[in-house]
Amino acid sequence: MHKILFISFIFFAAPVANAQSTASTLQRPKLVVGIVVDQMRWDYLYRYYNRYTEDGGFKRLLGQGFSCENTMIRYTPTVTACGHASIYTGSVPAIDGITGNDWWDYDVNNVVYCTEDANAETVGSNSTLGNMSPKNLLVTTIGDELRLATNFKSKVIGVAIKDRSAILPAGHSANAAYWYDNKSGSWITSSYYMKDLPKWVKDFNGKKLEDGYYAQDWNTLYPLNTYEESSNDEEPYESKPFGAGVKGFPYSLKQFAGKNYSAITVTPYGNSFTFDMAKAALTNEQLGADSVTDLLTVSLSSPDYIGHTFGPNSVEAEDGFLRLDKDLGAFLNFLDEKVGKGEYLVFLTADHGAANVPGFLTEHKIPAGNIDEVKIGDDLNKALKEKFNTDSLVLDMINYQVYLNRDAIKNGGLNKDSVNKTVIDYLVKQPGVSRAFALDALNETVLNATVKEALVNSYYPARSGDIQIVYEPQWIINFLNGGTTHGVWNAYDAHIPLLWYGWHINQGSSNREVGITDIAPTIAAMLHIQMPSGSVGHVINEAKK
């Protein structure tokens, strides 16, 4: 009798044990793909929605994936370097140290570019555009944590036209980061990653795909009169990147073949070109080809170049996103084929948005304006010289901050508070300036809570200035002759899309406010790995199954 019971127990227990064993196996996607659209306002998802195609990318992500409709950036400046760093670290400038694309660094007493590295050399061309690394990033990225979690078996590769958009997402321990050298027309990297380009990159560069794109010229994808979401094709507040006499569509690009390798960046073909490189990296490095999760970061820089040049309401911007929709759909199909449906996890977001061109806004009776920051800096130095008899007390104006010559103030026996007050008194009298105050008095300054949070999240003393400027809404710095920019706390710069798709992603959307800092910890939770070392974000539970 006991023998029968024992056999029965084994018979019934075996399937249970097998099920427990299966459930205890850690499940991860084969590949994580991060797609960052440089300068994509959230409203572009719906402004052009009716023109996006069913086989394109945006409707597929919105319809089959999960959309975080209220994703905000809660720091300033809302610029490319800060955005890419924050997305992949879950951190903010006050912690990760990336306080702008550039900053005045008081430790080295000079302007520093976010990814510059004097100890790194260009690999892939004779220019200095590869003297870069992630050394200025003070924290780990989600790619670093993935590599650590898999004992460096995972591959992490970053691809973007802009160096900072490839380097910062990939992180410190990445296998590679590749960016575009617009002087040589080649994809390059730095000695930080490798001594020589892989053969597949050399072969890719040898194809000179730019010339093939130039041969197509740039005309609108659809008849020009159907672009009803945009202003007229030719507006006086648009810049002219293809020549002073070139006023609008169609743009002849054939003239640039073999001569001008930067023009492609200001066209939608820059996105196509970047996807070409991303596909080549995935194929040749066999990303997502085994059981160990890999990470591919792809940043699409051309929307930023187009937006800065022509503005958010231009035909060029609309056509750029309609073409991007098609490129994105083709890339998702490529992932289906190479990695397998349901085997990869994709998120798509932006590093920042953009302001409408002031000329466009004032044309429609909306208050706006341009501020000549160079003139303000020059006039400030003259006023300070007159009062304190000291030259060049303003070192620079970067990231909406005034950097003062602290050594000159100290060595000259000047009263810092008096210098600060002189600067502030001058600034608050300027058109378009809402507030100006000393950053070391930020906690005592009366500000709206949202604005104060953004400024606190950005303050890293050695890389931040002395005086903070807050401009009126719709006022932008520089771009006096056309185009627009970004960088402030306002919704047009800070409200970005966030779409999730693929492996273990729910279908739906949420209007709950989440942050750009929530992306990295959400990926960490889904992969069951440690969140990056400077992460301050929270897991977006609604997005995952």
Question: What is the structure's pLDDT at 124?
Answer: 98
Q: What pLDDT does residue 10 have? A: 39
Taking a C-beta distance cutoff of 8 angstroms, is the pair 404, 397 a contact?
no
Q: How many Å separate Cα 514 from the centre of its chain? A: 17
Say whether pLDDT at 24 is over 90: no
pLDDT grade for 25, boundaries at 50, 70 and 90: confident
Map out the domains of the chain as residue ranges. 35-72+115-354, 369-477
The string of pLDDT tens digits covering residues 223-253 is: 999 999 999 998 999 999 999 889 899 999 9
> Which residue stretches of 141-260 are H helix?
142-149, 163-170, 199-206, 209-214
State the CATH architecture for 369-477: 2-Layer Sandwich (3.30)
For residue 283, the cross-strand partners are none
Residue 23: pLDDT band by 50, 70, 90 thresholds?
A: low
Give mean pLDDT, residues 427-436: 97
131 pLDDT band, cuts 50/70/90, is very high
125 exposure class (CB count in 10 Å sphere: 0-12, 13-18, 19+): middle
Question: Could you report the per-residue pLDDT of 251-272, keeping only the tens digit for each?
Answer: 999 999 999 999 999 999 999 9
Alpha-helical runs (H) found in 262-301: 269-284
373/376 Cα distance (integer angstroms): 5
Task: Supply the residues annotated as catalytic.
Answer: 80
pLDDT tens, position by position, 160-204: 999 999 999 999 999 999 999 999 999 999 999 999 999 999 999
What are the tokens at 83?
A: 């955005």
pLDDT at 293 over 90: yes
Residue 83: how many other CB atoms lie within 10 Å: 30
**If you average pLDDT over residues 81-93, what whole number do you get?**
98
> Given this model, what pLDDT does residue 8 score?
41
Note the pLDDT tens digit of each residue in 135-157: 999 999 999 999 999 999 999 99
DSSP string covering 35-74: EEETT--TTHHHHTGGGS-TTSSHHHHHHHSEEETTEE--
Is residue 19 pLDDT above 80, yes or no? Answer: no
Q: Which residues in 70-174 belong to E strands, given as ranges?
A: 71-72, 102-105, 110-113, 122-123, 156-160
Domain 35-72+115-354, CATH class in plain words = alpha beta
Model pLDDT, residue 5: 41
429 pLDDT tier (thresholds 50, 70, 90): very high
Mean pLDDT over the full length of the chain = 95
Provide mean pLDDT across the span 489-517: 98
Side-chain-side CA neighbours of 157 within 13 Å: the count stands at: 24
Residue 16 has pLDDT above 70, yes or no: no
Question: What whole-number percentage of the chain has pLDDT above 70?
Answer: 96
Specify the length of the chain in residues: 545
Q: Is the pLDDT of residue 12 over 60?
A: no
Residue 528 DSSP symbol: T
Give the Cα separation of 205 and 124 in Å (integer): 9
Rounded average pLDDT over 385-409: 96
State mean pLDDT over 119-124. 98
Between the alpha carbon of residue 279 and those of residues 25, 143, 267, 330, 478, the distances in Å are 30, 19, 20, 11, 37
SS3 249: coil
